[in-house]
Amino acid sequence: MGAHDFEFGLDTFLPVTVDASGHPIPGDQVIRNAVEEAVLAESVGIDSFNIGEHYRSEFMDSANHVVLAAIAGRTERIRLGTAVTVLSTQDPVRLYTDFATLDAVSGGRAQLVVGRGSLTDSFPLFGFDLADYEDLFQEKLDLLMRLLRDQPVTWSGTFRSPLADQRVSPPIAEGHIPTWVGVGGSPQSVVRAARFGAPLMLAIIAGRPDRFAPYVDLYHRALEQHGQPELPVGLHSLGFVAPTDEEAMAIQWPYYREQFEWAARERGWRSPTLEQFADEVDHGSLYVGSPETVARRIAGVVRTLGLSRFDLLYAVGRVPHEQRMATIELYGREVIPRVRELLADAPAAPAPAAADAAVTT
């Protein structure tokens, strides 16, 4: 494949950011800012803009398809997707109608990453039982894939009424919406993605990325075992770009610390230290630094894991909108061209193009 087939995306959860004086800005402003960030992303050549799905006060991404539709009206080329859709608590039929419609208004630019989600706020909110965590995902993935690939659908399951010879509008060309399965490190999820013939999106937010190489190997072996074609593997990781390494570290660290201290309290993790942060930046899964530094780290992980897609969750925590915009500009104008250059010099192992995902889902 040529390096141009590679997909460089941006991911955001629409965090409530702070203004210059450190105060949180209103949620509606966060949502409008995200539209501006996506418009900038297209103008600097980024391939896709992908929005998370959370149900808590620090993130404004609960109805990502609405924000994506607004972006569709302001852009022409950038792909519009999710990162990730919490499929376990969605109705696959409604999800299909939302994204088939987004695909129509955007001229065929919709895409999905579906997963179980690392947070579980949506379960009580929508009346689901966490005890069904595994079974819900399995059943809903099955129905979603049928709706995307093979209408009319005759289907029955445990968690919703059956469908008989059902067509759902609007129609899409077969396999038109690339649908990746997002995985956070569960081997069973890797095998399941392969069984469904869905491209694999790894979410790695800490630790050395090379420890996921066995998961990529498992995915390819499982594809083979289930008689599926070779499919692409993508990576979602966190980062922040500024003109120099020092600036990037200095801006990102306080917000990173704040974000992970909250997570530490909620999840029983240890609180982060500056030393750990620096180690993550140097060897782990934080892509923080100057464009050259970040480009070299991305090119490295692309080669190590044989990736076809890299999504940067740009700016960790409440980093102000202006600095998020600056990161997008540097990622699009400097990091991406430089990664392409580095990969052309020393290509990764052959990997299926991200664009192929569209044909197979």
Partner 1 sequence: MTTVESARATTSGAAGPGRERGELRLGIVGAGKLGTTLARAAVAAGYDVGLSGSGPAEEIALTVEVLAPGARAMTTGDVVRHADVVVLAVPTHRFHELPGDLFAGKVLVDAMNYWPPVDGDDRELAAAADGTSAVVQAHFPSARVVKSLNQLGYHELDELARPEGAPDRTAIGAAGDDRGAVRAVTRLIDRLGFDPVDAGSLEDGAALEPEGSRAQVGFTPTR
* Positions in the binding site for partner 1 (CB under 8 A): 119-121, 123, 129-131, 133, 185-188, 190-191, 206-208, 211, 214-215, 217-218, 221-222, 225, 266-269
Our CB check for partner 1 shows the closer of 97 and 120 to be 120
**Least distance from partner 1 to the Cβ atom of residue 240, Å:** 23
Q: Residue 317: which of 269, 349, 272 has the closest Cα?
A: 272
Q: For residues 128 and 58, what is the distance between their CA atoms, to the nearest angstrom?
A: 22
Question: What are the residues facing 80 on neighbouring strands?
Answer: 49, 110
Our CB check for partner 1 shows the closer of 94 and 267 to be 267
Show Cβ contacts of residue 103 under 8 Å, excluding neighbours closer than 6 positions. Answer: 109, 110, 172, 176, 177
**Least distance from partner 1 to the Cβ atom of residue 234, Å:** 20
Q: What is the pairing mode between strands 233-241 and 309-314?
A: parallel
Q: What is the DSSP letter of 242?
A: -
Our CB check for partner 1 shows the closer of 208 and 296 to be 208
**Least distance from partner 1 to the Cβ atom of residue 222, Å:** 6
Phi and psi at residue 233, in whole multiples of 5°? -120, 130
Phi and psi at residue 26, in whole multiples of 5°? -65, 150
Q: Which residue has the tokens 């530094």?
A: 293
Q: Which two tokens stand for residue 64?
A: 């990502």
Our CB check for partner 1 shows the closer of 130 and 359 to be 130
Q: Residue 82: which of 108, 56, 62 has the closest Cα?
A: 62
Q: Which residue has the tokens 């004086």?
A: 21
Query: What DSSP line would sit under 41-53, residue for residue?
Result: HHHTT-SEEEE--
Our CB check for partner 1 shows the closer of 169 and 186 to be 186
Q: For residues 217 and 349, what is the distance between their CA atoms, to the nearest angstrom?
A: 13
**Least distance from partner 1 to the Cβ atom of residue 224, Å:** 10
Alpha helices in 306-335 (DSSP H): 321-330
Query: Rounded to a whole number, what is the distance in angstroms from the first to the last CA of the chain?
Result: 20
**Least distance from partner 1 to the Cβ atom of residue 4, Å:** 31
Question: 3-state SS of the chain: helix, strand, coil percent to 5?
Answer: 50, 15, 35
Our CB check for partner 1 shows the closer of 208 and 303 to be 208
Phi and psi at residue 19, in whole multiples of 5°? -90, -175
With beta carbons less than 8 A apart as the criterion, state whether 84 and 182 touch. Answer: yes
Our CB check for partner 1 shows the closer of 96 and 215 to be 215
Our CB check for partner 1 shows the closer of 19 and 217 to be 217
Our CB check for partner 1 shows the closer of 147 and 223 to be 223
Q: Residue 113: which of 85, 145, 80, 142 has the closest Cα?
A: 85
**Least distance from partner 1 to the Cβ atom of residue 12, Å:** 22
**Least distance from partner 1 to the Cβ atom of residue 39, Å:** 35
**Least distance from partner 1 to the Cβ atom of residue 64, Å:** 21
Q: How far, CA to CA in Å, does 333 sit from each of 33, 109, 295, 330?
A: 20, 22, 11, 5
**Least distance from partner 1 to the Cβ atom of residue 10, Å:** 26
Our CB check for partner 1 shows the closer of 54 and 109 to be 54
**Least distance from partner 1 to the Cβ atom of residue 24, Å:** 23
